[in-house]
Structure 1
Amino acid sequence: MFSLISALLCAAVGLLLWTGVGYVLARRLALGHGLALPVAPALGWAVQNAVALALGQLIGFSPVATIGAAVLLCSVLLVKRHSLDEPSASTDAVPWWLFAMAAVVAMAPALAVLPKQVAEGVILAPAIFDHSKIALIDEIVRGGVPPVNPFFGPTGQSADVAYYYLWHFGAAQLAGLTGATGWEADAAASWFTAFSTLALMAGLARYLSGSRLAPAIALALCCTGSLRPVLEAIVGGTALEALLKPASGFAGWLFQSSWSPHHVAAAGCLVTATLLVTRLTRNPNLLSTVILALVMSAGFQSSIWVGGVVMALVAAALVPLMLSSIPLPAWPRFVGAGVAAGLLALAIASPLLVAQYHAALLRAAGSPVAVVPYAVLGPLAEAALGGAGNMAAYWLVLLVVEFPLVYIAGTLTLARMATEREEDDVRRIDVHALLTVVAVSLASSWLLVSTVGDNNDLGWRAVLPALLVLTAAAAAGIARWVEQRTRLVASLAVAAFAASVPAGAIIIAGNARGELSPSAEAFAKAPAMWAAVRRHTPEDARVANNPGLFADMTPWPVNISWALLGDRRSCFAGNELAIAFAPLSPERRAEISGRFLRTFAGGGSPDDVRALAETYGCGTVLLTALDGAWANDPFAANRFYRLAEAQAGAWRVYVAVPSSDDDAPPNSAGQSAE
């Protein structure tokens, strides 16, 4: 089902591949100040994936493209060796053991992807719901890039993927190099994303403070969460819901790394790009321009919300700041390099841009982004304070509740640093640029809402760049308070940390323990069932199964066994996945979802079966004993499907009958298994 050894091998390959490439480039770009190694994982991941994706589209997805991209990027060492940045002094570097600590902490979100074997069967963590995109990783390994849509692809229609899939492409590279499954590669990529952003925050904390204590504090802060559990214990859950909206995906690093690592990776790209921009003001050369473009494109191709919307707003806000930091005669070179980087990033990301534009037209959903203040207050507080109170509550209540120590200590530290006299000009500009990232990121989450799906993904994810910066700044500030023995402030910081630990512990425990469901025993047997499906389904064919199968194993019903174990395309993977991946209007999506659910529930008509075969291109059908249609099998006596294999009392695999075989006796194969 899932091999931990394979997942660990993938993680090791990713660590070597991406960190190695990133360190070479960080040295060449003269990041200095001990930032080269902390930035290396995020930088290497971004540029190698962006280049490998372009190569994969030219020569095909293969280990040749993966390794070729790394070799191409490392070849910068062959040019002007003398311009390499000098290794950072030991007093500026992050100690090696902190990277080891980061590797351990990164396991917390990765645990969310692993299956849990218990006496009752196999259980999953709630966050696996958002990892159902593993099917996209398997699709890239099977068919290359650009990938065919594995979630929906009706006969005679285009089946492009209009989703920001670079993160999944990176996981597919790991699977392609090691032979791992998409599930195992997803777990490894989740770990690496967590590790890369932890290293980035630890490095920034060291850079901003000069303290050896700050990186360790940054890692500790990443294990915390919201104040909600403590507040519920004090005032009660009902009273808290009257004052505040319920918890959502607007959450800290630990939660978001567990659920949506591709958005976290995009936030790492944005912060890394900001550091590259400040150095571009000092040396706007060709290499810096190209690498900046690759990092920006990687951010967009991993998250349209973080790497697209927020990245664009941050770039616009940084321009006047950067121009004010350099003399007027240097403006043309910097502006030229910046414009070139932006245009190159757009060119690299253009295939996904075009695909998403076409998908938006087909959905007929209007603008994907709207300006609506974030809803914070519960009914009682909203009735008392009104709209203005709700807008202020974002800054005064929600951010304090969700990120207590990170938000308060980080903001105070950055603000103080921005007003201090700083002899190091580059560091001064870095502080102002990072403060700009925080302001734009938080304001975007406050005022902008995504309208594409059922959730406000833009509002939830836009906060991530600010969280990375504020965590590093908070760690820097706390380290300084401790070293200066500012007892009162340090005591308040410890109290806030203690109050936010329970939420972090709940998330980690949930990732490690999972949630037992009635389907645990049946899910443990699902690998054999899906292996049978693969035996009868060519790699370019599509499978139909009940979109609600094992629905009780995830917080919301999703076709989870197909996504994790199927390794074949689906003709309709269910409503939850269709929201993001099927270019359908809500009405059309509901109609198709209703047809598939009805058919597998036992209420389907002959026309429904015909539609599965002819309209939706379902070359294989999987029916299980858990489906309502098991006792009244609509596929058992029709001219569109024949039985290929079955296990008594468990499952039946049907394959489509070719048109030339329409007159063949139905169910002429596999009956002995029943």
Structure 2
Amino acid sequence: MFSFGSTLLAAAAGLVLWTGAGYVLGRAVGFGRALALPLAPALGWTVLNALALEISRWVGGPLVVATVGALALMMGGWWLRDRRVVAPPDDTPAMPFWLFLAAAIVALVPAMAVVPKETQAGIALAPAIFDHSKIALIDAMVRDGMPPVNPFYGPPGEPAGVAYYYLWHFGAAQLASLTGARGWEADAAASWFTAFSTLMLMAGLALHLTASRLAASFTIALCCGGSLRPMLEALFGAQALGHILRPATGFAGWLFQSSWSPHHVAAAGALVIAALVAVRLATNPRALTAIVMGLMVAGAYQSSIWVGGVVLALAMLALLPLLLRSVPPGGLPRFLLAVLGAAALALLFAAPLLVEQYHAGVMRGGGSPVAISPFPVLADGAAGGFWRWLDLPAYWLVLLVVEFPLIYPAGAVALWWLAARGDAGTLSGREARALGLLTLVSLAASGLLVSTVGDNNDLGWRAVLPGLMVLTAAAGAGLARLMERRGRIVPGLALAGFAASLVGGGVIAAGNARGEVSSDAAWFARAPAMWAAVRRHAPAGARVVNNPALFATMTPWPVNISWALMADRRSCFAGNELAIAFAPLSRQRRGAISDQFLRVFAGEGSAGDMRALARTYGCDVVLVTARDGAWARDPFADSPFYRLAETEPAAWRVYVATPSSSAPPPVPSITP
């Protein structure tokens, strides 16, 4: 079902593939050796994947593009570095090897969220696997090539493209193609790499800002922490805390977000590096720097529309006055030309996804995808009728402290000090100010902007990530400086805050490593054989369908998890939860289709429903299990549109569409 060896091989391939290219690119655009190496994994991942994604639209497969692209960039970057080293003198000490090793170990915690756990009761999954149900997209890219065909929904005659920001999953697909890993294993490897690359980015920033290895060590340690909520609940009780604060959401620290949504974390890392590249583009406008900047922007957007789209646009507008003041005398025309070139390149690479998202937005209907509203912090009754007005200050004074203890207060003070003490005329001073502006925009966007596309406020949850990364690095720098003081009170308070945050981090780590055993655990252990039976009767291009609510108890919220992890085939409708992000359907039509499929697998399907599955939705292969209501009241058994192909007694039945079901579909309709 899952191979640790394949996961390890895929992670090693990504480490070699992206870090090597990222290092020579970092040196070529002006980063010193001490900064270029820790930034290399995230820089190489973003640039290489953005470039490979565009080439693969013409070539069709990720494997050749990944290999050839890596070699070309590494050779080109090495050639440029040897002939024009533009990095200023740098006395920063090199990152010690043991810190790379420490980051690699900490990065295992988010990766464990994807790995299945064998128990006596069956297979246990971590709660974060819910957000990794997009693994089906990785399998689709490996199986069908590029551009990807929507594996979640796409009946005949309707758009089959993917409007989701899928660059991160494309990177995982490269690892799968390169090593032969399955999508599930490649996702775990890519999750580890994203965690490792962003850890090294934050540690490298701390080292760069202070020239202190201790600062880098503290930064990695801070990433092991979590929210203060578990500690507060232990002290005051969950009920008492619930009277003051709203329940926890996806607005959380690095450890939680790396476990649940690594693609947003990767986009945040790209945005932080883009801010540093922008400063170098202003101080020394060059064609190579402009190209890297354009690819970084495109890669950030293709990984997360919220971080790489909304936050990036706002951050670059805020940075523009600082960048203009950084342009050397007489260099303004070159800088403006470089900016226009970078913007044109980013737009060119992002255009296919922009078009897909525009069409999907039109088909879904609705208004603006972004609205202005303070992040809800206080419980409804906590502040009487004025609670809405108090949410805004509570975000800055309460929520950020609760969710990012020590990182937010210590990082904010340290970042202010670093920006204020740095000479505005030096590169390091401009970098500190640029990172400070990025942090302010990131936190403000998270506190004021709301995404309206889905059921969750993904914009508010993810917009905080770039600022959080900068604050973590600044907090590490500040704590290192604090340790130089002879006093004991302030360091003691810092140690207490860190210990309190470790409780929340330990809860996340334990959940990722242990998983949750559900009532479906034993049945889930048999799922690989079940889906292997489906694949025997489903060619690579076939659409399959199963009960979208199958194994609903395996995840915190119902999602078609066994299909997503193991089917390696497209679905004609994978379920309402996955259709929210991937199906260009209005809320009303999506709900009606979901009800129809649930009705069929509950054993209440009509002849019209059978006709709709075969002709309207193009379901080529059907899986019915003993867990479905349709097992006892099987509507497929007597349907002229399907025939039984294989059965496992008391377990599952596989039906395939009959030749007559391939007739031209009638006008789509939903049976009431």
TM above 0.5: yes
The 8 Å contact of residues 442 and 467 in structure 2, kept in 1 or not, is answered as: yes
Q: Name the structure 2 match of 1:13.
A: 13
Matches within 5 A, 1:580-619: 580-619=581-620
SS at match of 2:653: strand
The 8 Å contact of residues 33 and 92 in structure 1, kept in 2 or not, is answered as: no
Structure-2 change in CA distance of 1:494 and 1:600 (3 Å): same
Number of positions where the alignment pairs a residue of Structure 1 with one of Structure 2:
662
The 8 Å contact of residues 381 and 387 in structure 2, kept in 1 or not, is answered as: no
Deviation at 1:327, TM superposition (A): 4.1
CA distance in 2 between counterparts of 1:283 and 1:266 reads 25
Q: Name the structure 2 match of 1:666.
A: none
The 8 Å contact of residues 149 and 581 in structure 1, kept in 2 or not, is answered as: yes
CA distance in 1 between counterparts of 2:207 and 2:172 reads 30
TM-score, structure 2 normalization: 0.97
Question: 1:588-641: CA deviations, max 9, x gaps?
Answer: 010000000110011111111111101100000000001011011110111100
Q: CA RMSD in A?
A: 1.5
Deviation at 1:93, TM superposition (A): 1.4
Q: Which moved more, 1:243-252 or 1:381-390?
A: 381-390
Q: Name the structure 1 match of 2:73.
A: 73
The 8 Å contact of residues 92 and 207 in structure 2, kept in 1 or not, is answered as: no
The 8 Å contact of residues 407 and 475 in structure 2, kept in 1 or not, is answered as: yes
Q: Which moved more, 1:181-190 or 1:595-604?
A: 595-604
SS at match of 2:423: coil
Residue type of the alignment partner of 1:457: D
Q: Name the structure 1 match of 2:517.
A: 516
Matches within 5 A, 1:627-642: 627-642=628-643
Residue type of the alignment partner of 1:22: G
Give unmatched runs, 5+ long, in structure 1: 663-674
CA distance in 2 between counterparts of 1:560 and 1:33 reads 44
Q: Name the structure 1 match of 2:399.
A: 398
- Mapped pair 1:36 → 2:48: no
Q: Name the structure 2 match of 1:671.
A: none
Deviation at 1:660, TM superposition (A): 8.4
The 8 Å contact of residues 33 and 207 in structure 1, kept in 2 or not, is answered as: no
CA distance in 2 between counterparts of 1:35 and 1:421 reads 18
Residue type of the alignment partner of 2:3: S
CA distance in 1 between counterparts of 2:422 and 2:150 reads 54
SS at match of 1:404: coil
Structure-2 change in CA distance of 1:50 and 1:133 (3 Å): same
- Mapped pair 1:530 → 2:531: yes
Deviation at 1:242, TM superposition (A): 1.2
Q: Name the structure 2 match of 1:649.
A: 650
Deviation at 1:71, TM superposition (A): 1.8
The 8 Å contact of residues 615 and 661 in structure 2, kept in 1 or not, is answered as: no
The 8 Å contact of residues 410 and 478 in structure 2, kept in 1 or not, is answered as: yes
The 8 Å contact of residues 605 and 635 in structure 2, kept in 1 or not, is answered as: yes
The 8 Å contact of residues 35 and 204 in structure 2, kept in 1 or not, is answered as: yes
Q: Name the structure 1 match of 2:50.
A: 50
- Mapped pair 1:261 → 2:262: yes
The 8 Å contact of residues 33 and 88 in structure 1, kept in 2 or not, is answered as: no
Q: Which moved more, 1:86-95 or 1:479-488?
A: 86-95
Question: 1:115-171: CA deviations, max 9, x gaps?
Answer: 000111111000000000000000000011110000001121111100000000000
Deviation at 1:87, TM superposition (A): 11
CA distance in 2 between counterparts of 1:18 and 1:129 reads 27
Q: Name the structure 1 match of 2:448.
A: 447
Give unmatched runs, 5+ long, in structure 2: 664-672
SS at match of 2:406: helix
Deviation at 1:197, TM superposition (A): 0.1
Q: Name the structure 1 match of 2:59.
A: 59
CA distance in 1 between counterparts of 2:494 and 2:81 reads 47
CA distance in 2 between counterparts of 1:612 and 1:367 reads 33
Q: Which moved more, 1:417-426 or 1:296-305?
A: 417-426
Q: Name the structure 1 match of 2:668.
A: none
The 8 Å contact of residues 614 and 662 in structure 2, kept in 1 or not, is answered as: no
- Mapped pair 1:142 → 2:136: no
Q: Name the structure 2 match of 1:672.
A: none
Structure-2 change in CA distance of 1:630 and 1:28 (3 Å): same
Q: Name the structure 2 match of 1:476.
A: 477
SS at match of 1:618: coil
CA distance in 2 between counterparts of 1:545 and 1:80 reads 54
Deviation at 1:423, TM superposition (A): 8.5
Structure-2 change in CA distance of 1:561 and 1:366 (3 Å): same
CA distance in 1 between counterparts of 2:422 and 2:526 reads 65
Q: Name the structure 2 match of 1:82.
A: 83
Question: 1:437-471: CA deviations, max 9, x gaps?
Answer: 10000000011000000000000000000111000
Q: Name the structure 2 match of 1:388.
A: 389
Deviation at 1:325, TM superposition (A): 2.6
Question: 1:29-59: CA deviations, max 9, x gaps?
Answer: 1211611001000000001101111111111
Structure-2 change in CA distance of 1:94 and 1:85 (3 Å): farther
CA distance in 2 between counterparts of 1:19 and 1:235 reads 46
Q: Name the structure 2 match of 1:124.
A: 125
- Mapped pair 1:466 → 2:467: yes
Question: 1:1-25: CA deviations, max 9, x gaps?
Answer: 0000000000000000000110111
The 8 Å contact of residues 34 and 88 in structure 1, kept in 2 or not, is answered as: no
Matches within 5 A, 1:485-496: 485-496=486-497
The 8 Å contact of residues 4 and 185 in structure 2, kept in 1 or not, is answered as: yes
Deviation at 1:487, TM superposition (A): 2.4
The 8 Å contact of residues 55 and 69 in structure 1, kept in 2 or not, is answered as: no
Residue type of the alignment partner of 1:70: A
Q: Name the structure 1 match of 2:183.
A: 182
Residue type of the alignment partner of 1:5: G
Identity %: 61
The 8 Å contact of residues 414 and 474 in structure 2, kept in 1 or not, is answered as: yes
Structure-2 change in CA distance of 1:182 and 1:314 (3 Å): same
The 8 Å contact of residues 411 and 470 in structure 1, kept in 2 or not, is answered as: yes
Residue type of the alignment partner of 2:9: L
CA distance in 1 between counterparts of 2:88 and 2:22 reads 14
The 8 Å contact of residues 120 and 521 in structure 1, kept in 2 or not, is answered as: yes
SS at match of 1:653: strand
Residue type of the alignment partner of 2:351: S
Question: 1:559-581: CA deviations, max 9, x gaps?
Answer: 00000000000000001000000
SS at match of 1:146: coil
Structure-2 change in CA distance of 1:228 and 1:2 (3 Å): same
Deviation at 1:328, TM superposition (A): 4.9
CA distance in 1 between counterparts of 2:113 and 2:294 reads 32
SS at match of 1:243: coil
CA distance in 2 between counterparts of 1:90 and 1:329 reads 30
Q: Name the structure 1 match of 2:341.
A: 340
